[in-house]
Amino acid sequence: MPTPSSPAPKILKLPIGLKAKGERKEFDSLGTVMVPANRYWGAQTQRSLIHFNIGNDRMPHEVYHAYGYVKKAAAIVNTKHGRLPQWKGKLIQQVCDEVISGQLDEDFPLYVWQTGSGTQSNMNVNEVVSNRCIQLVGGKLGAQEPIHPNDHVNMGQSSNDTFPTAMHIAAYTMAVTKTIPALKRLQKALEKKSREWSTVVKIGRTHIQDATPLTVGQEWSGYASALADAIVDVEYATEGLLRLAMGGTAVGTGLNSPVGFGDEVAAVIAKLTGYKFQTAENKFAAQGTLDRMVRAHAGLKSASVTLFKIANDMRWLGSGPRTGLMELILPSNEPGSSIMPGKVNPTQAEAMLMVCIQIMSSDVAVQMGGAEGNFELNAFRPVLINNYLHSALIMADMCDHFREFMIEGAQLNRPKIKENIDKSVMMVTALSPIIGYDKASVISHYAIDNDLTLREAALRNGVSEELYDRVVIPINMTHPDGATSKSKKKSAAKRPAKKTTAKKTTAKKKATRR
C-alpha cells in the first residue's frame, strides 16, 4: 500500500458495486464492527444502523448529494494548497461526483432519528468515499488506507459545520429547482383564468353569505395576487440559505482548518452548483442556531396558508352538481365513490388541503427544533432538514398536480352564475346611496321574507322601474362608484342651467373684486 511519499497508484476503472458476500471487518475508535461485505460503509455507519433503527424515516438522499458537493469542494481547496496530494484530492473528487449524481445512494441507509448534529451521516459519507477510493486503487476495504475517512475525506472539517452546510445546499437546491418554479406555474395559471373570466359577473360572498357582485376575474385575481405575494416571501426566506457554516469546524472558531478555508470552500461550492453560496459572516450563529432554516420553512408555511384558502374556495365553488354552489365545473379525474355511482369529488383540492396541513404541522417541529440550539451547537438538525425537504417536495408536486388536474381544466357554470345574479338581494346596495340605507334594508328583507326577486320587492316598495333599471346593473357594481355614477350624472343634467351659470358668475365676480 502506498505511503505518503509513495508515487501515485494507478486508478482503476471499476464500476460501482461490491460482489463480496457475507461480512467484513471495519474499525473505529471504539473497536471493530462487522458490516455487510457488499456495502461501502464502515463501522460508524453500522453502529448507527444498530442503535438508531427507528421507524421508516431515512435521511433524505438530497442531503447526501449536497454532502458530495461539500466533500468535493473541500478536497479541491485542500489539494490546491498542498494539504492533500494531487492524486488523493482528484480521487476523492471523482468519488464525490458519484455521490452527487446519486450513484451511491444505496450506501446511505441511515435514519433521520440519529445524533442531532448529523455526525453519523457525515461519517457515512466519509466512510463510503474512503472505501470507494480504496477500491479504485486496488486496496483492501476497511483498511482506511490510502484514503482515510477522517484524515483525508473530512480534512479541515467537522460535522458541526459540514452538516448545516449540506442542509442549506440541499434545501436551497430543492426550493429553487422544484418548489418555487411549481408555485410560479400555479400562479400563472390562476392569472390566466383571471384574465379569461374578467367580464363574467358573479355574486360575491362574505361570511359565506351573499354579498355584492364582482367579476370572476376579480375573484381569481385575488388568488393570483395572494400567491404572488407568498412567492416573494418564499424567495426572500430561501435566499438566507445561501450563507454556509463551512469553516467553523467544531464550535465556530475554525480550529484545525486553515485561515480562509470556509470562504474558499463556499466559493468552490458556488462554482460547482451554480448558486451564489457564500461563507456565513458569523460561524457561531451559523452553527449554534438553525434560524435561517427555520425562516425558510416559515416561508413554505406561509405559502401553504395561501394555497389552503385557494383550494378550499375551489372545492366550495365546485360543490354540487345539483345541490351545492355549482359555480365551477371541476375536471372529472376519477370516480369518487365505491358505492355511489357517478359521483366525482374535488380530490385535487382535498389533496392540496392535506399537503398544506402537513406543512403547517411540520413548521411546529421546525420551530421547536430551531429553538433547541444550546450554546455552540443546535443538535436538532436532522428533524429540521427532513421536514424542510419533505415540505418543499410535497408543495412542489402538489402545486403542479393542482394546476394541471384542477385549475387548468376548470370551467364556469355560467347559467348558475347568472341565476345567482338574478336571485341576489344584496344588489340593493346599489340603491342605498340614492334611496337611503334604511329603505334599501326594508326592500332587502321584504324580498327575502316574501320570496321575491329584488326588482319585484323594490317596485312594491316605491322604487320606479326607471330608477331600478338604471342603477341596479351588476357589471357597474364591480368598480368604485359604478352603480351611482350614471345616476348622479343624469340628476346633474336635469338641474336648471341658469343655476349652475349663476354660481359660476357669482364666483367670478368675487374673484374679480378680490
Tell me the catalytic residues.
207, 337
What is the three-class DSSP state of 328? strand
- Return the DSSP state at 475: G
Q: Using an 8 Å Cβ cutoff, are 358 and 394 in contact?
A: yes
Helix then strand count (H, E) for the chain reads 19, 10
CB 441 within 8 A of CB 411: no
Report the amino acid identity of residue 369.
G
Q: Taking a C-beta distance cutoff of 8 angstroms, is the pair 390, 362 a contact? A: yes
Counting beta carbons within 10 angstroms of the beta carbon of residue 232, is it exposed (0 to 12), middle (13 to 18) or buried (19 or more)? Answer: exposed
With b for 16 or more beta-carbon neighbours within 10 A and e for fewer, the 181-216 pattern comes to ebbeebbebbbebbeebeebbbbbbeeeebebbbbb
Residues 6+ apart with CB under 8 A from 31: none
Beta strand pairing call for 31-36 and 23-28:
antiparallel
State the Cα–Cα distance between residues 307 and 409, nearest whole angstrom. 18
Amino acid symbol at 397: D
Q: Is the C-alpha dihedral spanning 458, 459, 463, 466 positive or negative?
A: positive
* 307 touches 299 (CB < 8 A): no
What is d(CA 475, CA 202) in angstroms, rounded to the nearest whole number? 9
Judge whether 412 and 329 are in contact, CB under 8 Å.
yes
Rounded to a whole number of angstroms, the distance between the first and last alpha carbons of the chain is: 109
| CA distance linking residue 243 with residue 371, whole number of Å | 19
Half-sphere exposure of 278 (CA within 13 A, CB side): 6
Contact 241, 293 (CB under 8 A): yes
**Cell match 395559471: residue?**
189
Nearest one of 130, 125, 129 to 169, comparing CA atoms: 125
Beta partners for residue 244, in sequence order: 279
DSSP string covering 47-104, please? HHHHHT--TT-BPPHHHHHHHHHHHHHHHHHHHHTTSS-HHHHHHHHHHHHHHHTTTT
Let me know if 56 is exposed, middle or buried by CB neighbors in 10 A (0-12, 13-18, 19+): exposed
